[in-house]
Chains A and B, each alone.
Chain A
C-alpha cells in the first residue's frame, strides 16, 4: 500500500515556507524524498533512516516519526527552483521504494 501524501498541491510566493506530509501504514526502514520537474526523472533530496540518521539537501529539512510512521518535508524560504512534484518513498526492507502519489508545489514570484 502506497504512503499517503498531503497536501496534493500547494502554491507559494517566493520566500514562503511549506510542509509536505507523508504517512505509511507499513513499518519503514527509511523514508526518501524526491523532487520531479515536468518531463524529467525524479531527483534525490533526502533520506531519513530508522534511528534518526538523515542525509540530504542543504536547504531542505525533514523529520521521521518512527512511532507514527510519518515523515514531513520542510521547505523554508522557498525559491522558484523549488517548483515541481515532491514524492516520498518508503523502504520496508527491500532496498526498493514504494512512493506516495506526490505533492505538486508551485512557487510564484
Chain B
C-alpha cells in the first residue's frame, strides 16, 4: 500500500492564482481530512469528509473548496490564492470503528503564495 499520497510536494503561486492540491489513499478509508500548518503552529482543520459525496467545513474553510467523488480521492482547491494561505497542507485518512481510529497523514504539500 502506498498509504496517503499528496501532490505536488512543493508549489509556488502568485496572488490570485488558483490550484488544486491532490490527495489519494489506497486503504479504503471512509474518513478524510485536510489540515494546514503554519510555521511553528498546530494543525488547523480546513475541510473533512465522512464518505464519498459528503464533505463539511472545519475551522478555517474560507478560500478553499473540496469534493469527494470517490473513496480514494479528496482534492483541495484554492480558489484565489492569497499570501495568508502560505502553509504546509496535510491530508489525512482513517477508518473508524465507532470513534476509535488512527489518522494516517500524507507527507504534506508546502505552498508559498507570493
Q: Which residues of A contact B (CB under 8 A)?
A: 2, 29-30, 32, 34, 40-44, 47, 49-50, 53, 55, 87, 89, 91, 93-102
Collect the chain A residues with CB atoms within 8 Å of residue B58's CB: 96, 98
> Which among A53, A87, A96, A99 has the highest number of chain B CB atoms within 10 Å?
A96
For B100, the chain A residues whose CB sits under 8 A away are: 30, 47, 49, 53, 55
Query: What are 21 A-to-B residue pairs whose CB atoms are below 8 Å?
Result: A2-B59, A32-B103, A34-B103, A40-B107, A41-B90, A41-B105, A41-B106, A41-B108, A42-B103, A43-B105, A49-B100, A87-B43, A91-B99, A95-B31, A95-B50, A95-B94, A95-B96, A96-B31, A98-B58, A98-B59, A102-B42
Across-interface contacts of A98 in B (CB, < 8 A): 45, 58-59
Is B56 an interface residue when CB atoms closer than 8 A count as contact? yes
Question: Contact between B42 and A44 (Cβ–Cβ < 8 Å)?
Answer: no
Judging by beta carbons under 8 Å apart, are B99 and A44 in contact? no
Tell me, rounded to whole Å, the shortest Cβ–Cβ distance linking A90 to chain B: 11
Given A49-B99, A55-B100, A42 contacting B33 (CB threshold 8 A): no
Contact (A41, B107) CB under 8 Å given A47-B101, A91-B99: yes
**Interface footprint category on B:** 20 to 34
A102 and chain B: residue at smallest CB distance: B42
Chain A residues with CB under 8 Å of B104's CB are 44
Whole-angstrom distance between the Cβ of A39 and the nearest chain B Cβ:
9
CA distance in complex: A93, B99 (Å): 8
Question: Which residues from 59 to 114 on chain B have a C-beta closer than 8 Å to any C-beta of chain A?
Answer: 59, 90, 94, 96, 98-108
Cβ of B48: which chain A residues have Cβ within 8 Å of it? 94-96
B41 at the interface (CB under 8 A from A): yes
The docked-state distance in angstroms from the alpha carbon of A100 to that of B37 is: 12
Interface centre among B31, B43, B102 (most CB of A within 10 A): B43
Query: In the complex, are the beta carbons of A99 and B42 less than 8 A apart?
Result: yes
